[in-house]
A and B are shown apart, each in its own frame.
Chain A
Amino acid sequence: MLLDAMEAELARAMETMGSSTDVPLYYMQYTVTDESRFELSAADGGFNAPESSRLRYLDVDIRVGSMSLDNTHEIRGGGSSDNYPPRRVVQFPIQDEPGSARATLWAETEYQYHKAVDRYSKVVTNRQIKVEEADKSADFSPMPPHQYAEVVVPTRRDTSLIRPIMRRAAKYFTEHSFVLNSGVSFTILDKTTYLVSSEGHRLQFGNRYLRMDLTVVGMANDGMELSRHEGFSAAVPEHLPDETTVMKTAERLVKELRLLIDAPEVEPYLGPAILRSRASGVFFHEIFGHRVEGHRQKRTDEGQTFTKKIGESILPPFISVYDDPTVFRHGKHDLRGYYAFDDEGTPAQRVTIVERGVLKGFLMSRSPIDGFPLSNGHGRRQYGYDVVSRQGNLIVESSETVPWEELRRRLIAECERQGKPYGLVFEDIGGGFTTTARRGPQAFKVLPLLVTRVYTDGRPDEIVRGVDIVGTPLTSFNKIICTGDDYDVFNGTCGAESGMVPASCISPSILVSEIEVEKRQKAQEKPPILPPPRCDAGGAAVGTHG
């Protein structure tokens, strides 16, 4: 019913607005995102009430003018609001009632059409008064229509198995006086996308995103807030961790938090380091992946780090990088970056970005750039935002890998060669951010969560705290010396101009000859004055406070 109603209303709008004497509408797309969510969470040992919701959201994409120049064209020199419209969230009926569905489509189409006409006139004027553009590619690329229908089977909301596991982990956290806050959460998101376009797309596709997260927060005596976190992603409940895995993870997080609280703060450092596989995945996603998104090669306010480097060596020759959203699973991990079609209705495709160190391509939406006229299925968005090119499953492959022990030995050797007393191993990274725009420093900052110091003189490894990785992209990638054979997956959610989208990165550990870390900003508060109530009451809490 829904797709029929969308097609009918789209045809009605095209008939009238497509023949408008003002500015003709040449392309329309309706996207309805159906999200069914469930969340169960525990905080500090007690449960919160389960929450569930089902909502649908509507996006109406309208293009007026022509493929070569339309209303989406960059307004050069414009303010932020000229080129990055604010998010517009439009709720859509959750009942399959054609009249209301069509009325909602109609109302939003009217709004978006008039906005498009208004912006198109600004685009035309802007082009007349500004210098000639360096990239003269069109604003939209053609795409053969696709028809596809996939029913996303709703995930069962039965928590009888997972609730006792969560309870046990949540209670375990509260047994430790240095754990100031803790949380355990389980979320389900069943998502279906319905998409029709004036080119004849008729698609229904989706995915299921299950997640379990464990978090503990503590504080060092100098006021630095410290946390450990582990997340498990899956596409089906059977792939979530069992009780043994959850409890082992909980025990590890508590142990690591204790070590972090007691750990020394690191001074700024420049020297060799290993980024463990998941940390390396995040590093590549942030520092490299965002810079090969197609729209960043075209927009005049972007740094365009790699725009003119096609065919040039930008990484060591033993490294290749792909983005392949068609991969559903890697090893034991379901990948969050999987999708069948992107948000412009283009089938997901594997894209070779770097082959043996040489830059080969970019992640493309239907917004062409010089030399890349077509989409490769990477136009993505969260509902309410405009589509831009985004990463899906970023895969870093190495043709020269060594076992972990050998990689560690090479780290020590590199430290000795440089005369450094120690190297750093980044075990876990929480995320980071990078500025790709020209107006700011085109640098990056990555936020490590767990860092180990490896000494050259044979002293035991030592956990340290309080550092962020900083640098600039071109320099950083030249420093990769060697990789491990320990490919692992980081499943996360990536935020950019087009909102939050699920993404994955797969990478081996990498050894870099030089990485820079700087001191992290920290709170100045003292630890709590009174001990946690469980401890003060002679309860079961163990360990020494802070």
Chain B
Amino acid sequence: MRAVRQSGHMADPRRAAAALLLCVRVCAGAGSDAAPDDSVFGAMEDELHRSLEGLSMVDLDPPYFLSYEVREHATTVADARYDAMVRSTSRTTRTLGIDLRVGDPSLDNTNFYADWSDAWGRPADLVEEDDYWALRHEIWYRTDKAYKAAVERLAKKKAYLQSHPSDEALVDLSPVEPCVHIEDRQSSAVDQGVIHALLNTAVEACHEVPALQDWDVGFLGDTETRWFVSSEGSRVRTVGHGYALTVSGTTQAHDGQRLCAQRRYMVPTLNAMPTKEDLAHDVRRFFEELSAMAGADLLDEYAGPVLFTEYAAAQFMAGLFAEQLTLPRTPLVATEWMREYFQPGKLAGRVNRRVLPRFVTILDDPGRTTWRGMPLMGSRFVDDQGVRCRPFALVMHGRLVTLPITRSPSRKVSEPNGRAIKVQAEAAVPGISNLIVRADNRLSRERLIKELRRLCVEYELEFGLLVSQLEDPSVGARYRWTEARNGDDASLLPPPLMVYKVFADDGRMEPVRGLVFEDVTIRSLRDIVACGKDERAYNMFVNAGFTDMSYPASIITPSVLVEEMELKSSPIREPLPKVRNPLFASPR
């Protein structure tokens, strides 16, 4: 039949990604035995042993390392738009990831991409019934393909290295202790009544904000069961849960500027969701603030101190710090066009250098499960390569001392530290868990604002800026009619959304709008001149690097005051509605 043109889609791409990686894998209590009746383990292990013994071709090496990872996701999705449900589904999916290596740990088929499929190959679907023979059959078929691809890629890699000699003496696979950890399988059932109550509460709260033109509420519940076995003897079964309630909305200023905002509640247990009263209050307050922003004055440009508070502080640390730790080891890439996709994060090469002021220390603690009673989404017990996660300091007194790392060592960090994440791709990338930003000299909110005003006086400015939320790029793409993006795609920070002028003379605050950051670099981290006493934890999605996917993590940070940043105006405007929204067409 005739070829079909590829489709555009209004669906939120990040939500799709989230569906496959939302769960928190904390140690939920080891099972009482080694899961002898688990047919998934049985199929994985039996096929692993058979493959290691039998897979070889004439003049070609057999595998020296093989691991299988099976992920089962039982997801419940419910979406509402305006005041009605648009989707309510539950489904189960299973995927098989294979890490098959030929050669030896010093030089194998990994860390080299000859073409697109090497880098972006997705885990294969796996039959979902616990049928030992069906599982083995599918694992067998895909292992055969993985082996042939591995030997071919190793040959290409060797040829590439002959024509592109490198003095980088890094091994491809670091040794680790095998990890044996079995958790009990758990039910994935989600109370539909609870889901619908959350959705109803959120949509009713949105409905009470007349300036909102459009709003969506989405619920995603996910139970992940993960099996991992390796030829080194690792044997892991973990069970994790994750729940996200996402409330998005849009309004327009009188000049056509569209303001889009999103509030996301991510928790590892359903009962950690906000109460009905808290949710209604928070959603209403959030969109009323957005409405106020739509009525604010435009600001054409700004250069001066910026105070990031609340969620904006976490977004600041995510964009300029957490997401800049990626790809500490750039893989070898055979084709020039692919090289741009494998750029290391801006901080990846700065180990042992000062990247923040001396009064800031940053920890990454996967073992912490709560922060002042709030459950954290970054908690992990074992990473996606079967390595136990352990806490460490990333930054000590302003100096970057290490990086999250997988089993692929980098020049600066060689020992795996349990931070490998596989996000819808075969290759593991390093990521953070629970990032905790600590400052020695912490100021109260009043002192922070006073400091902001002092800087304004010093720079001879009438006012400084306070930013409490940045725009979520995915929500902008959802509501904007124009294909043009608000702000620079390459910017390390998305445009500010909730922005206030703080006047130097009397400290009064006025909302402003229409700004995007200009030329943001990691230099802004060093330009932090003060931090607040108001550490707050935020569960959020963090970009994983080249896979263009995100993973759940937690960032605990105080407000941060940056000495100087530059912002410019955003030119994007859209026509105002010709007809009034029927929900608000008549007096209520």
Tell me the A residues contacting B by CB distance below 8 Å: 9, 12-13, 16-17, 20, 42-49, 51-56, 80, 84, 86-95, 97, 99-104, 106-107, 109-111, 113-115, 174, 180-181, 285-286, 290, 384, 431-434, 492-497, 499-500, 525-526, 528-530, 532-534, 536, 539
Contact = CB atoms under 8 A, between A and B. Distances in A.
A16 B583 contact: no
Interface string B534-561: 0000000000000000000000000000
A44 B127 contact: yes
Given A95-B85, A101-B84, A114-B574, 20 more contacts: A44-B137, A44-B138, A45-B131, A46-B131, A49-B91, A90-B10, A93-B81, A93-B85, A94-B85, A99-B83, A99-B84, A103-B582, A495-B3, A496-B4, A529-B54, A529-B144, A530-B55, A533-B140, A534-B136, A534-B137
From B5, B10, B147, residue with most partner A Cβ within 10 Å:
B5
Contacts of A42: 127
Interface in B1-21: 1-11
A94 B86 contact: yes
Please name the 4 residue pairs, one residue from A and one from B, whose CB atoms are nearest each other, closest first.
A46-B134, A87-B7, A93-B84, A46-B131
A181 B134 CA distance: 10
B210 interface: no
A384 B82 contact: no
Contacts of A528: 140-141, 144
B89 A53 contact: yes
A17 B87 CA distance: 31
Contacts of B10: 88-91
12 contacts: A45-B134, A55-B86, A88-B8, A94-B88, A100-B82, A103-B583, A493-B1, A494-B2, A496-B1, A496-B2, A533-B140, A534-B133
Nearest to B140: A533
B140 A532 contact: yes
Nearest to A183: B127
A539 B140 CA distance: 15
B318 to A, nearest CB: 29
B41 to A, nearest CB: 15
Contacts of B50: 530, 533, 536
B482 to A, nearest CB: 10
Interface string B162-173: 000000000000
Contacts of B4: 495-496, 499-500
B505 interface: no
Given A43-B127, A492-B1, A525-B148, A100 B83 contact: yes
A67 B139 CA distance: 59
Nearest to A282: B1
B213 interface: yes
Nearest to B141: A180
B484 interface: no
Contact of A17 (B7, B147, B213, B578): B578
A106 B582 contact: yes
Interface size class of B (residues with CB under 8 A): 35 or more
A45, A47, A56, A109 — most chain B CB neighbours (10 Å): A45
B68 to A, nearest CB: 14
Contacts of A495: 1-4
Contacts of B86: 55-56, 91-94
Interface string B121-144: 000010111010111111011001
A533 B46 contact: yes
A182 to B, nearest CB: 9
Given A89-B10, A91-B86, A530 B138 contact: no
A44 B134 contact: yes
B444 interface: no
Contacts, number: 194
Interface string B255-277: 00000000000000000000000
A385 B283 CA distance: 35
A38 to B, nearest CB: 11
A48 B579 contact: no
Nearest to B57: A529
Nearest to A539: B133
A411 to B, nearest CB: 27
Contacts of B174: none
Contacts of A286: 1-2
B29 interface: no
B407 to A, nearest CB: 26
A48 B2 contact: no
A46 B127 contact: yes
A113 B578 CA distance: 9
B133 A45 contact: yes
A496 B5 CA distance: 8
Given A286-B1, A492-B1, A529-B56, A106 B579 contact: yes
Contact of B144 (A88, A285, A530): A530
A166 to B, nearest CB: 12
B341 interface: no
A19 to B, nearest CB: 11
Nearest to B4: A495
Contacts of A89: 7-11
Contacts of A20: 578
A43 B85 contact: no
Contacts of A95: 84-85
Given A48-B127, A89-B9, A532-B137, A16 B582 contact: no
Contact of A174 (B47, B83, B137): B137
Central interface residue in A53, A106, A533, by most chain B CB within 10 Å? A533
A91 B579 contact: no
A530 B582 CA distance: 65
A51 B127 contact: no
Given A46-B127, A88-B8, A106-B582, A530 B137 contact: no
A494 B84 CA distance: 33
A49 B579 CA distance: 45
Given A48-B128, A529-B55, A529-B144, A106 B81 contact: no
A111 B252 CA distance: 14
A393 B583 CA distance: 43
Given A90-B10, A532-B137, A12 B582 contact: yes
A101 B581 CA distance: 11
A49 B575 contact: no
A95 B575 CA distance: 30
B373 interface: no
A431 B2 CA distance: 9
A246 to B, nearest CB: 19
B150 to A, nearest CB: 13
Interface in B81-133: 81-89, 91-92, 125, 127-129, 131, 133
